[in-house]
Structure 1
C-alpha cells in the first residue's frame, strides 16, 4: 500500500500494472453527470450473441459505446435504440479517468468510451477479459459507486488464481500493461441500500476503444 500525492488515501497494488485507488471518486459530481447521460441514453438490458439477456443494465457515453446483440460484441458511434450519437462524457468523468490513470502510472490516457453498468442485488458479472477494443496499450479505469461489491481479479490465463477485493463507493480500479488482459468479474451483488444510489451499484468503465 502507498499514499498518493494528493492526500492520505491508501492505494493497493493488486497485480503488476493493476491498482485499486481507494475513495478517489467519492466526492465527485459523478452521479449528476450520470443523470445527464441517462436522460439521453437510458439504461437497458442488452442481449448476448446467443440470444440471452444480460443481467446488468447498461448504457454508454463518449465517442464510442459498447453494445451486444446477435451480431456480436462491438463498439458503435451511435445508440442503436435512438439512432443518435452517444452522449458526451461529462467533464467530471474525464477528469477522474485522467487522474486515476496517471496515479496508477499510465500517462496520456484519453478514453473515448465509457460503459456504464447498473447492478441490482442478485446480479453478477462473470469472469471475462476486455478484448473488444482496437488495441490493448491503454489501461482500463473502472469506478465503483453505490453498494459494495466483490471484485474478482485473476491473471491473463484463465487458469491463473483469482483473488477477491472488496470495492466501495468511490473506489477506482485501474489495470493495464502486463495486466491489461487479466480475467476479472463481480460476484453476485448482495442486498442493501446506499445513500447515494439506493438499491444498486453503478460501475463506470473507461477505455480507449478506437484506433489511435
Structure 2
C-alpha cells in the first residue's frame, strides 16, 4: 500500500496490482453475473436530465442512482424494481483488509466506461456517514485518475490506474474531489471489447 499525499490530506492510499490477472478474471465473471440480474442503466443529471457518459449498476443492500429528482441510495434497481445482487465475496475480503475498522460496505457502485467516457471532479458525499473510507477497484483499460482537495479549485494530482489497482479514500481524504479524465483505449485485454469497469465500495448509513 502506498500513501499518496495531496494538499496535505492524509488517508489516500494506492494499491497497485492488488488483484492479479486470475483474480481480475474471477471478479469480472462475478460482476457480469450481477449485471445480468441488475442491468446497466444510463443515469442522468438532476434537474437538467443530461445523461452521464458512463453506464451504471450496483451490488449490495443499497445502490446509488441519479435521475431528474436527484442523487440518492435506494434498495432496488430503478428499472426492474428488484433488489440489488449481493456484493461479491472477494470485494468484501478487500474491504476487510483495507478498512477493517469500518462497518461492512452497503453499496458497490459499478461504473462502465466506454471509449470517451469520463467522470468530472466530484465528492462522494451522498452517504449518511463519512467515517468509513471509499474503496475503488479498476478493471480493464487504464484510466487517468485525478484527485484534489476539499475544495473544487484546490490543486490536483493525476496518476494512472491500471487493471487490478485499488484506491482508498479515507480519513482526511474521504471527501477529496476526484474524477476520471480519460480512459486509455487498448491498454488492457481483460474486457473483450475494451473499456473500463470501476467498482466503488461505500458504507452508506451509520452503524447501529
How high is the TM-score relative to the length of structure 2? Answer: 0.91
Aligned counterparts, 1:157-168, within 5 A: 157-168=151-162
Supply the distance in 2 between the matched residues of 1:100 and 1:86 (Cα, whole angstroms): 24
CA distance in 2, matches of 1:109, 1:202: 25
The aligned residue for residue 141 of structure 2 is 147
1:13 pairs with 2:8:
no
2:179 maps to which residue?
185
3-state DSSP of counterpart to 1:188: strand
Range 180-189 or range 21-30, more displaced: 21-30
SS in 2 for 1:39: helix
**Residue of structure 1 equivalent to 2:44:** 47
Is the 8 Å Cα contact of residues 54 and 118 (structure 2) preserved in structure 1?
Answer: yes
In the alignment, structure 1 residue 197 sits paired with structure 2 residue 191: yes
Structure 2: runs of 5+ lacking an equivalent: none
1:63–1:112 Cα contact (<8 Å) kept: yes
What is the CA deviation profile of residues 31-89 of structure 1, one whole-angstrom value per residue up to 9, with x for unaligned ones? Answer: 12101101100112111112101110100000000000011000000111111111111
Partner of 2:203: 208
Write the deviation string for residues 71-124 of structure 1: whole angstroms up to 9, x where unpaired: 10000001111111111112122112222334xxxx234100000001011111
Whether the aligned pair in 2 keeps the contact of 1:51 and 1:69 (CA below 8 Å) is: yes
Contact 1:12 1:19 in 2 (8 A): yes
Q: 1:20 to 1:193 in 2, by over 3 A?
A: closer
Residue 4 of structure 1: aligned partner:
none
CA contact (8 A) 1:100 1:172 kept: no
Q: Do the aligned residues in 2 keep the contact of 1:60 with 1:66 (CA within 8 Å)?
A: yes
In the alignment, what sits opposite 1:72? 70
Aligned partners of 1:178, 1:81: CA distance in 2, in Å? 36
For 1:172 and 1:211, the matched residues in 2 are separated by 24
* Structure 1 segments unaligned to the other structure (5+ residues): 1-10
Choose 172-181 or 195-204, whichever is displaced more: 195-204
Aligned residues: 198
